[in-house]
Amino acid sequence: MADTRADEPNDPGFIAMAPLEPAEDVPDAVLAEQLLSFGVILFPELQHWRDDSQKRYVVSAARGHNILAQLPTGHGKSVLAIVPALARGGLTLFVAPTLSLVDDLYAKCVSRQILAFRLTGQSQYDEQALCGEAVVHYQGGVVLTTPEKACSGQMQLLLEKVHVTRVVIDEAHCWVADREWRSGYMRLAGWLGPFIKKKMVSLTFMSATLPGDFLSRASEELDVPREPWTVLISSVSRPCLRLEVESKVRVTGAAKRIAELLQATPEAQCAVVFCRLPSQCDNVCESLRKLGSVAARAGTRLCNVYYSALPMETRRRRLRKWLSREVRCLIGTTSIAMGIDHPSIGLVVHYGLPDSATSYAQHVGRAARRAGQTA
């Protein structure tokens, strides 16, 4: 297992690790320990697998099995996707439904010197060309993208030049729940199906919330057999979360109550407020600001809004400020609900009912994502 820093000209540096290439007869328990030793190099905090579902996932992925994983929020799904991907070798295509999720995971990979490439519809032409050249050169790592970009002609041409070993569909509930919003998933199914049938690529569906008939529906759309898949389903129960319901009296009354909740939340923790409409986000944010800085920490801005209608650079800037705790409260639509891993969210507020139980589980799952935290 090599651990060396790449010294290619103009390369920012990443940890180059030789694949494990486990023998077929290696027992699962031994392989799980080998993968843990491999993963600690990339994730020093990874001292042990949390539970049996994590062990089963990494072993199944390293052996090239197709996987359906329903794991609770804060369960380290990005670690589970990356460690066996690099251990197995080849290229892993990681498909996420939102640009914010792609950006978040890309930043994590860069900070840990993991060989990763970000290719989305927002990438500049020169950036896309350079990424494409690098992917072909290294023939490995992780490509982070969206469903629409994964189906593009440019991506198809690129992937013909490299050995793709696994495709990870993150926040997989969008595959069936948001079909009209994400028609790219259906195009992706048409491309993936033949490769899976021929066992040329393995597939992972990963989410905290999946309907009971998900695998049957996805298998039908991919036109692949329902069996065999490794199916991992863990409880989505989060005992660290305290849930409350209150009456809402006008936007000013709601804003006052949100300010009170913020004031009662420990100073080191931030908050997120979910609204159904961008106009509601603006109204709540304006009302909160009029109340003054009673709920803001010293040296921080009280709140900002975040929704898809804002320019991409504005969204990225506001998300960075919230993640770095320069802004205490982010008020937005469901676009910030999936995969954003803020280290210290102590308060999640819904300004009105979410559109579904799935959305609610995703939203509250942003909170208390570190061991010992409560929200």
Structural domains in the chain plus CATH codes: 4-233 (3.40.50.300), 250-364 (3.40.50.300)
Range ranked top by mean pLDDT from 73-82, 128-137, 316-325, 351-360:
316-325
Burial class (CB in 10 A: 0-12, 13-18, 19+), 180: exposed
How far, in Å, CA of 275 to CA of 42, rounded? 37
Lowest mean pLDDT among 112-116, 202-206, 237-241, 258-262: 237-241
Question: In residues, how long is the chain?
Answer: 375
Question: What single letter denotes the amino acid at residue 227?
Answer: E
Q: How far is CA 269 from CA 28, 239, 297, 326, 349, in A?
A: 40, 18, 10, 12, 14
pLDDT digits (tens, 9 = 90+) for 15-39: 666 777 766 778 888 988 988 888 8
Residue 6's pLDDT band, with cuts at 50, 70 and 90, is very low
Percent of the chain predicted with pLDDT > 90: 5
Question: pTM above 0.85?
Answer: no
pLDDT, position 12: 46
pLDDT, position 279: 92
In this prediction, residues 215-237 reach a mean pLDDT of 81
Residue 192's pLDDT band, with cuts at 50, 70 and 90, is confident
pLDDT, position 339: 54
- Sheet order of strands, 270-274 included: 301-306, 327-332, 270-274, 345-350
Specify the DSSP element, H or E, that contains 79.
Answer: helix 77-88
In this prediction, residues 108-112 reach a mean pLDDT of 85
In this prediction, residues 248-274 reach a mean pLDDT of 80
Whether the per-residue pLDDT at 84 is higher than 70: the answer is yes
